[in-house]
Structure 1
């Protein structure tokens, strides 16, 4: 269990969840927080699940270099099997999509696009320099887009 927890990188997951929470609260204001708490909590949980999946995917693709650069990571150290890491990555991405489904369709669309981009980044785009950097920049920035879509229901609200 400790290997899975380490694979997820809980602090990164927490930062994603907090980013979505702050983005949503800034977007609607603290006065409307109570009315929109449920979708925002779901969005924060989805962001944390997505981040856990992305971290697992990173360790899967980087397991050879991690043996030298990060030998304490679960896959690199042998504390976790490749199969377990794959199951965890797929499960957390699926959880993010399921949570987004309970928010609204635009939120689900963002999660779907982000999963495809994350897989593409890890598999091919990471080695492509600027293109990979742009994908990561979008993924980080999309936390606020995701927060806005979760509370407003559309990416076209003027506040987003």
Structure 2
């Protein structure tokens, strides 16, 4: 396969976004206490939790890459009109081969999750189903669409927590945070082509603000008086609100697109904040190291 053709198929998987999905897993791992066990594994010479982190990271790579590839496959005819430069309508990628690739990625993601435990496997199946439902039906639903997309991220965070099923049973409600955040992004993104969606922009901004309050509350409940999460929230605000304000002011598709791109990449900061709230700033910083990788990839591959 020629380099240009390989690049086209890589474009379908949104590599910069895949990094944000890995951050979901790492944050879920932190909430489950997995990072603490991994340190113990090093001391005892065991590899179980390291292997689980690897399997779940591979799982989310397959699930996310396969899900977004199906998004382009489902939109091929519409993209031929609105975004003819994309891999499939431009002819740089075959729709049939892309379908085989996307299916294989989803199946691999499910397989990798089952290597951890059955709960992880079931969650991976749920994420895959949510992704395909969104690609072919959910995105066309004004109300359910954003919720559908948010459920994909909720499942992804819970997939990370599922390394410890007993913790997942107690703290599954934390999954509502990525649901709200990604629902807001999805709502705002509807103006990327035509613009003029001021109401959605304002409502999305309010949903973003609720995330700050929720993470702050989560941090307080986990460790009262701990302010380590504040620098992470400050960075999150710096990343998402200036582009959103510009989008509200102009209502132009290009600025709305930049706002969406910033919010998607900032999922890494959301995850770093959650990890800091539950396991301390060191783990949060480790997750934050994924941010420059995602930003670098975002310069080479489309995010939306």
Mark yes or no: TM-score above 0.5. Answer: yes
Contact 1:97 1:111 in 2 (8 A): yes
Matches within 5 A, 1:8-27: 8-27=13-32
C-alpha deviations, 1:33-52, integer Å up to 9, x for none?
A: 34422112211111111111
2:57 equivalent among 40, 44, 51: 44
Alpha carbon RMSD of aligned pairs, Å?
1.8
Q: Does residue 128 of structure 1 match 2:141?
A: yes
Aligned residue pair count = 159
Q: Which moved more, 1:84-93 or 1:126-135?
A: 126-135
- 2: CA distance between counterparts of 1:154 and 1:85? 38
C-alpha deviations, 1:44-88, integer Å up to 9, x for none?
A: 111111111011100001112222333332112110111111001
C-alpha deviations, 1:72-109, integer Å up to 9, x for none?
A: 32112110111111001100001001101111111111
Which residue of 2 is the match for residue 86 of structure 1? 99
Change (3 A) 1:58 1:155: farther
Contact 1:106 1:154 in 2 (8 A): no
Q: Does residue 110 of structure 1 match 2:123?
A: yes
Contact 1:16 1:48 in 2 (8 A): yes
Q: Does residue 5 of structure 1 match 2:10?
A: yes
1:153 equivalent among 158, 165, 170: 165
Contact 2:158 2:168 in 1 (8 A): no
- 2: CA distance between counterparts of 1:155 and 1:118? 25
In structure 2, stretches of 5+ residues that fail to align are: 1-5, 42-48, 173-304
Following superposition, the deviation at residue 11 of structure 1 comes to 0.9
Q: Which moved more, 1:68-77 or 1:42-51?
A: 68-77
Pair member with larger Rg: 2
Following superposition, the deviation at residue 154 of structure 1 comes to 4.7
Change (3 A) 1:71 1:114: same
SS at match of 1:140: helix
- 2: CA distance between counterparts of 1:92 and 1:158? 30
Greater relative contact order (Cα 8 A, min sep 6): structure 1 or 2? Answer: 1
TM-score, scaled relative to structure 2 = 0.49
- 1: CA distance between counterparts of 2:81 and 2:160? 37
TM-score, scaled relative to structure 1 = 0.90
Structure 1: 4+ residue segments shifted above 6 A = none
Pick the structure with more helix per residue.
1
- 2: CA distance between counterparts of 1:68 and 1:47? 31
